[in-house]
Amino acid sequence: MRVAVTGVSGYVGGRLVPTLLERGHDVLCLVRNPRKLDDRHWRSDPKVEVVADDVSDADQLAAKLKGVEAAYYLIHSMQATGSRYAEEDRRLAETFARAAKAAGVKRIVYLGGLGEMGPNLSEHLSSRREVERVLAEGGVPVTTFRAAMIIGSGSASFEILRYLVERLPIMVTPRWVKTESQPVAISDVLYWLVECLDVPETAGQTLEIGGKDIVQYRELMRIMAEELELGRRIIIPLPVLTPGLSSGWIGLVTPVSYRIARPLAEGLRNRVVVTNDLTQRLMPHETIGVREAIHRALVRVKGNDVPTTWSAAGPVPGDPDWAGGTVFKDQRTIDVGAAPGSVYRAVCRVGGGHGWYSGDILWQIRGWMDKLVGGPGLRRGRRHAEQVGYGEALDFWRVIGVEKDKSLKLLAEMKLPGTATLDFALDPLASGTTRLTMTAMFRPKGIFGLLYWYLVVPFHNIVFGGMLRGIKRAAENPPADASRVKA
């Protein structure tokens, strides 16, 4: 059938599309910025149509949904809109429900969260339930899936677990590490999301999904440590650690921001397990266990084979408007004895586990400072060691321009008293070498922006000059096996 998918640049949506294609469906991808899908291997499939739509106008959306039989609603604006996410999610769900009804869509499939019921819902889970209600009242039958923690390479829950275990041999934790949950592998989630299209009885149903094992969070930490071949982790639960304090700590230690960590931490306060077998009765499926799910995810991470990541979701700003005001520029050029392709690959290795070629300690300090004031900090992860796509996060930068073997442009997302970009341009020379030009631009906001620029300028030769020299060395002497570069 013809199927529409929203949230296709997000973690689940980006993996759902190829799964739908494997089952023979035609897929309409609704995405704010189609450029974010340019590097997906399925982008050129003739059964895929990509259209730009931010789900803000019901009439325009209805026209695009004409002929669609089923639509997946995978939008969650928490990362994009911060504290206003509940209000924004409700508005978008109302718009989508009206458009689906007007277009004659026969079914909506929605993925929400499994968890507590009653008056003590967390803000995050309350918002998820509100979206369920709004979609159901729109007049189109809705299949609602409520999932426990999703385990898969690149998911926010998985990244939190991995970084906590990797970085902290001794952990002082909240009481919720003793709470039972029923994690589910991303492969199992995708199976049920697609299988429901062939099971008419799932229309209008709320389906709880979880994996094979019911475990405490500290048991997940133990299994993760074993799969990472690390020593035993000492876990000390304390009753005084609230979800707010816990998520603040998670935000400092892991790549996941406080804003994302807070609802995840709140969701772990209560027992999160499947309470009925309706899903298995309607769609029997043998799920995998926690250890196998973690093992598969780590294999993908180590093999530079992470199809989607949590950090790529959300809107991507365009080129900053530099008109008006003071703009500082630091431009440096170096000639590299290698072809543009080799230089481009070396440029694309910046960030992530590889580092920034020079002054890594300065980058790390800046990353910790950014975390302390609520910024993204370093190590938000990446899908591949030396390949980047439009909209991808590289530490506290976002890719806002990419042209293979020609240029890479990054926009700073760290907390700054101004706007900053970092641009790499490659020009082939007649001698077979490549001229690499790196331009850092900064537009300050007020006196603090001016002070910031003059404070960091003395470090530019170490950071930027060293980076250029490091890229030159890497391009002229590429690693024998690029896949071994840490991602």
User: How does pLDDT run across 321-368, given as a tens digit for each residue?
Assistant: 665 567 889 999 999 999 999 999 999 988 876 778 888 888 888 888
Residues 429 and 439 sit within 8 Å (Cβ to Cβ):
no
| Residue 325 confidence (pLDDT) | 64
Nearest to 213 by CA among 133, 155, 274, 128: 274
Point out the least confidently predicted range of 29-33, 104-108, 382-386.
Answer: 382-386
Residue 90 CA from chain centroid, whole number: 22
Q: How long, in residues, is the chain?
A: 487
| Residue 164 confidence (pLDDT) | 81
| Residue 480 confidence (pLDDT) | 60
What is d(CA 178, CA 276) in angstroms, rounded to the nearest whole number?
A: 23
Nearest to 424 by CA among 320, 484, 483, 348: 348
| Residue 77 confidence (pLDDT) | 64
Which of 311 and 414 is assigned the larger pLDDT?
Answer: 414
pLDDT in tens, 25-65: 999 999 988 888 888 889 999 999 999 988 889 999 999 99
| Residue 100 confidence (pLDDT) | 96
Most confident of 169-178, 232-241, 428-437: 428-437
- Asked whether residue 316 carries a pLDDT value surpassing 80, the answer given is no
Side chain identity at residue 438, one-letter code:
M
| Residue 225 confidence (pLDDT) | 92
The vertex-340 CA angle with 334 and 344, nearest 5°, equals 85
| Residue 81 confidence (pLDDT) | 41
- In order of 65, 100, 102, the CA distances from 58 in angstroms are 10, 9, 9
- Asked whether residue 386 carries a pLDDT value surpassing 80, the answer given is no
- Asked whether residue 215 carries a pLDDT value surpassing 70, the answer given is yes
Point out the least confidently predicted range of 281-290, 335-344, 392-401.
Answer: 392-401
| Residue 487 confidence (pLDDT) | 31
**Could you tell me what percent of the chain has a pLDDT over 70?**
84
The vertex-452 CA angle with 450 and 455, nearest 5°, equals 110
Torsion (CA) 309, 311, 317, 321 in degrees, nearest 10: -130
Residues 106 and 71 sit within 8 Å (Cβ to Cβ):
no
> What's the pTM value of the predicted model, to 2 decimals?
0.77
Side chain identity at residue 107, one-letter code:
R
Residues 239 and 228 sit within 8 Å (Cβ to Cβ):
no
| Residue 235 confidence (pLDDT) | 81
Q: What DSSP letter does each residue of 336-381 carry, written as one string?
A: ESS-HHHHHHHHHT-SGGG--SS-HHHHHHHHHHHHHTT---S---
- The phi and psi torsions of 106 (rounded to 5 degrees) equal -85, -25
Which of 48 and 377 is assigned the larger pLDDT?
Answer: 48
> How many angstroms separate the most distant Cα atoms in the chain?
71
What is d(CA 298, CA 290) in angstroms, rounded to the nearest whole number?
A: 12
pLDDT (mean) for 126-146? 91
Q: If you compute the radius of gyration of the chain from its CA atoms, what whole number of angstroms results?
A: 23
End-to-end CA distance of the chain: 37
- Cβ density class 51-87: b for 16+ within 10 Å, e for less: eebbbeebeebbebbeebebbbbbbbbbbebeeebbe
| Residue 484 confidence (pLDDT) | 38
pLDDT in tens, 225-281: 999 998 888 888 777 666 666 666 676 667 666 666 666 666 666 778 999 999 999
- Asked whether residue 296 carries a pLDDT value surpassing 70, the answer given is yes
Instruction: Name all domains of the chain by residue range, CATH numbers in brackets.
Output: 2-310 (3.40.50.720), 320-484 (3.30.530.20)
pLDDT band at 485 (very low <50, low <70, confident <90, very high): very low
Nearest to 247 by CA among 223, 268, 228: 268
Side chain identity at residue 453, one-letter code:
W
266 burial via Cβ count (<10 Å: 0-12, 13-18, 19+): buried
The vertex-16 CA angle with 15 and 17, nearest 5°, equals 95
Nearest to 72 by CA among 152, 155, 151, 144: 144
